[in-house]
């Protein structure tokens, strides 16, 4: 190994540490993030000392956060992002301002100068986007009210990091001269130009470019182009001193409506996971235990002090937002920890001589320790606090404790599952109903429905619900991923069950059919057809004619879907099948209209159609 290149040795160390420590951490119930942090501590300068160039590794690993924000952006269409503008700037600014004010007041009360207090407060007010989004993703919280609020606040923090960094030169002790004023205006112009370029380029250039690359039919080149896109935007943002993650997020939003969205997600997801893991390892390595050893009491006071003050401020914000009582502890903890952008703020402040080097090291160490403590505190909250919160201010929910024997199981009792359940109940058919939304269960109970609390993706819960003896499993859950997880579980462990599934959209329909589910009903399809029938009747068609045309369209649409399904992964073939089907339908309808017109000429008393 003595002639092996350094990158090969380092790769061996990182991968070996991750492969050993992360599974062990998950087995102990501590989660993957604490495993990565522990691996970083073990191989870093204060552990075995196998890696020493921590800062370089941290800069490279930050690209994992960039890829994560790009993928988050891909999930948000511009219209949805626009609808979140109030939470982003309302709740986000409330969190940053409340935390900064409390922290700054506490630092000044401790006798620190106002400049140092303000910079420390602004840096510590920021939270870890990487840890928070990773945890929310693992816990399926993104679709909840706390997940949406947390995402909005984290996004605002990424935006707020820009003015915070711009503020640092103004806080430096030397007054700005005319030349520096001019330089500031030039920097502002560059920032506006780069953001404008990303938005304009994303609208006009990215899609045609990706289409041209996709025509080469070389998957590895498309993967390379996906990475090049994110790297180029990150480099542009870095060039003008902006957040790389924010630029990647903007690019993701601009491509959210692109036909290549799923392919981009598939290509980038593995790189994101690896680089995020490397980022957490680098954070673990960056913890300066020397500062901690020199001033253990001071470090403990700083960490506990800023965590307690942020917890107080964020909990008050959560209460003002109106988050459910049970969601507040996790929401508060995820935002209370320090964030990766604090490293950048404190390093820049030390470079501008606003913070002394020792103070900067102490604050960076405090942020890293808070990121290390956060997953541990999350485990403690899960085991000690959440069970109490679950029984506080909420009705007692019926959990399945005894085996059920109904022939039908309904997973998900929202607006879709309720209609299914009501019709079955009217026919005297018994069904075991599962849902994991406490508010919905209480609402259903008000109307006399018996709904059990539980997650249908759990094998043990399905067994108790009677899946081994039931005949039919109705999958009516809202979330697409959970729906597919229930299907996979049922297919593997209860192959005798007849599956009847709800599809949210065409992609979900194809995914269900790929898994062998033949009884799939598309959401909104039937109600849309009824609306179309109503429009035809308003336009003068008789009710019978309107129904005939709608049913004919329905049959054709279902046949077309069956023809499309074998080709849904081949875009060119899929488009050809769709065009051919549309042409056939138009020709058939035109022919029928001509026949109807001829009949009306022969029989003028016939109603208009």
Q: Which tens digit of pLDDT belongs to each residue from 483-503?
A: 888 998 888 889 899 998 888
The rounded distance, in Å, linking the Cα atoms of 254 and 262 is 14
Q: Does domain 395-523 have CATH number 3.40.50.720?
A: yes
What values do phi and psi take at 430, rounded to 5? -85, 140
pLDDT digits (tens, 9 = 90+) for 142-156: 667 777 788 888 878
Distance CA 508, CA 492 (A): 19
Helix axes 261-286, 63-74, angle to 10 degrees: 150
Nearby residues of 519 by Cβ (< 8 Å), 6 or more positions away = 498, 499, 500, 501
Pure H helices in 392-504: 415-426, 438-446, 459-464, 480-493
What Rg do the C-alpha atoms of the chain give, in angstroms? 29
Give the start-to-end residue ranges of the domains of the chain.
6-390, 395-523, 527-609
**What is the dihedral sign for C-alpha 156, 159, 165, 170?**
negative
- Maximum average pLDDT range among 36-45, 338-347, 391-400, 409-418: 409-418
Q: How far is 286 from 37, CA to CA, in rounded Å?
A: 10
230 sits in which H/E element: helix 219-239
Q: Is the pLDDT of residue 349 over 70?
A: yes
Q: Alpha-carbon distance 84 to 81, whole Å?
A: 5
User: Which candidate, 393, 481, 395, places its Cα nearest to that of 438?
Assistant: 395
> Helix, strand or coil for residue 121?
helix
Q: Is the pLDDT of residue 609 over 50?
A: no
pLDDT at 308: 92
pLDDT band (50, 70, 90) for residue 209: confident
Each residue's pLDDT tens digit, 166-197: 677 677 654 544 455 566 566 666 667 777 77
Q: How far, CA to CA in Å, does 51 sit from each of 57, 115, 274, 282?
A: 9, 35, 18, 10
List Cβ neighbours of 427 (8 Å cut-off, separation of 6 or more): none
The three-state secondary structure class of 562 is helix
**DSSP H or E stretch at residue 473:** strand 472-475
Q: Are 295 and 115 in contact (CB under 8 A)?
A: no
- pLDDT interval class at 325 (50, 70, 90): confident
| CATH no., domain 6-390 | 1.20.1530.20
Name which of 197-206, 448-457, 565-574 the model is least confident about. 565-574
CA distance 102 to 605: 81
| Mean pLDDT across 474-490 | 87
pLDDT digits (tens, 9 = 90+) for 125-140: 888 877 787 777 777 6
């Amino acid at each position: 190994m003595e002639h092996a290149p350094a990158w090969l040795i380092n790769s061996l160390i990182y991968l070996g540490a991750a492969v050993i420590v992360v599974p062990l951490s998950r087995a102990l119930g501590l989660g993957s993030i604490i495993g990565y942090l522990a691996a970083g501590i073990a191989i870093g300068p204060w552990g075995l000392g196998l890696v020493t160039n921590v800062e370089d590794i941290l800069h490279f690993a930050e690209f994992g956060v960039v890829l994560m924000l790009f993928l988050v952006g891909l999930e948000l269409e511009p219209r949805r992002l626009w609808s979140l503008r109030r939470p982003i700037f309302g709740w986000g600014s409330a969190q940053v301002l409340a935390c900064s004010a409390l922290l700054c007041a506490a630092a000044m009360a401790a006798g620190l100068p106002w400049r140092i207090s303000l910079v420390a407060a602004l840096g510590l007010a920021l939270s870890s986007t990487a840890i928070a989004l990773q945890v929310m993703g693992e816990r399926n919280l993104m679709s909840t009210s706390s997940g949406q609020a947390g995402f909005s606040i984290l996004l605002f923090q990424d935006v707020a990091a820009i003015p915070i960094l711009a503020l640092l030169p103004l806080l430096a002790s030397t007054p700005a001269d005319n030349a520096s004023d001019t330089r500031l205006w030039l920097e502002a112009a560059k920032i506006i130009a780069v953001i404008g370029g990303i938005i304009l380029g994303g609208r006009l250039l990215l899609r045609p470019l990706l289409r041209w690359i996709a025509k080469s039919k070389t998957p590895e080149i498309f993967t390379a182009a996906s990475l090049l896109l994110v790297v180029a935007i990150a480099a542009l943002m870095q060039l003008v001193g902006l957040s790389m993650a924010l630029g990647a997020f903007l690019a993701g939003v601009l491509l959210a409506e692109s036909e290549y969205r799923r392919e981009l997600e598939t290509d980038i997801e593995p790189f994101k996971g690896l680089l995020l893991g490397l980022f957490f390892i680098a954070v673990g390595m960056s913890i300066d235990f020397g500062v901690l050893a020199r001033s253990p009491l001071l470090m403990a006071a700083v960490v506990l002090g800023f965590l307690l003050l942020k917890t107080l401020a964020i909990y008050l914000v959560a209460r003002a937002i109106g988050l459910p009582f049970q969601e507040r502890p996790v929401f508060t903890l995820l935002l209370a920890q320090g964030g990766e952008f604090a490293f950048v703020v404190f390093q820049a402040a030390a470079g501008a001589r606003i913070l002394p080097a020792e103070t900067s090291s102490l604050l960076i160490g405090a942020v890293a320790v808070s990121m290390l403590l956060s997953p541990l505190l999350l485990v403690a909250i899960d085991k000690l606090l959440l069970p109490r919160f679950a029984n506080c201010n909420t009705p007692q929910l019926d959990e399945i404790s005894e085996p059920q024997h109904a022939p039908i199981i309904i997973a998900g009792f929202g607006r879709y599952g309720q209609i299914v359940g009501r019709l079955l109940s009217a026919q005297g058919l018994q069904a075991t109903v599962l849902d994991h939304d406490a508010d919905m269960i209480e609402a259903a109970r008000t109307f006399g429905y018996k709904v059990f609390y539980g997650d249908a993706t759990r094998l043990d819960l399905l067994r108790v619900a009677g899946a081994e003896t039931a005949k039919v499993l109705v999958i009516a859950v809202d979330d697409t991923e959970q729906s597919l997880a229930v299907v996979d579980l049922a297919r593997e462990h209860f192959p005798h069950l007849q599956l009847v599934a709800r599809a949210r959209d065409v992609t979900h329909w194809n995914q269900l059919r790929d898994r062998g589910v033949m009884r799939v009903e598309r959401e909104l399809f039937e109600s849309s057809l009824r609306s179309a029938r109503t429009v035809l009747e308003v336009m003068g068609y008789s009710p019978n004619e309107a129904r005939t045309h709608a049913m004919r369209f329905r049959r054709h649409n279902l046949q077309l879907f069956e023809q499309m399904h074998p080709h849904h992964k081949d875009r060119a073939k899929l488009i050809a099948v769709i065009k051919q089907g549309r042409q056939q339908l138009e020709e058939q309808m035109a022919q029928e209209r001509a026949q109807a017109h001829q009949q009306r000429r022969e029989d003028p008393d016939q109603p208009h159609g």
